[in-house]
Amino acid sequence: MREDRQSPSRRAALRRVAGIATGTLLAGCLSGEVGTTATESTDTETDPATGTGTMTGTTTPSVDHTVGLYTDLYFDPIGLHVEPGDTVAFELVSGAHSATAYHPDNEAVLERRVPQDAKAWDTGTWSETGTSRTITLEAEGTHDYFCIPHKGVEMVGRIVVGSPGGPATASANPDGKLPASARIVSEGSVPYDEWASE
């Protein structure tokens, strides 16, 4: 079901907007597992009910990679290669989305598609356009993830941490087509437009 997606030129325009936003709006922080707060942030408030950090200032921990979340229902890049310990900022460009690992502890996950030693990383669903939620990925292998509201319309993504491996490499993602782990490693990043046009 790709009919809802807009033209490449429109997406390119959105991505340019995303680039601007990346430069001006700095990320929130939600590092590692949900409930932890980045220790290097001095302007973070913690909700005592959930322990979830909420960024209130304009500084951010260092971000190694950025993935955009779009109201046309895709992650861009759809495939990303990172090193263990790298941080990835998920930037909400438009709409309301989440980036949620296929980990049995996360909502609506029927099968594990992250390495056995991976934490159940999840940004949660949010709608504050222009803000980011950041995770740190330690567990080496292939991490598939999805958007909670839009998993049913193929809003899925893949991050390879270090070398490919784990259950995501053993079967096709049940919710959407994803680039092979080896390709992600060789290209470093697979843009959504490029992938969708193949």
Question: Residues interacting with Cu ion, by CB under 5 A?
Answer: 97, 147, 149-150, 155
Tokens encoding 57: 């200032």
CA distance 56 to 170: 41
3-state SS, one letter per residue, for 125-186: CECCCCCEEEEEECCCEEEEEECCCCHHHCCEEEEEECCCCCHHHCCCCCCCCCCCHHHHHH
Q: How far is the CB of 64 from Cu ion (least distance, A)?
A: 23
Q: How far is the CB of 133 from Cu ion (least distance, A)?
A: 13
Q: How far is the CB of 124 from Cu ion (least distance, A)?
A: 12
Complex with Cu ion: residue 38 or 92, whichever CB lies closer: 92
Q: How far is the CB of 32 from Cu ion (least distance, A)?
A: 22
Give the bridge partners for 46, in sequence order.
53
Side-chain half-sphere exposure of 50, counting CA atoms within 13 A:
10
Complex with Cu ion: residue 5 or 61, whichever CB lies closer: 5
Question: What phi and psi, each to the nearest 5 degrees, are found at residue 17?
Answer: -60, -40
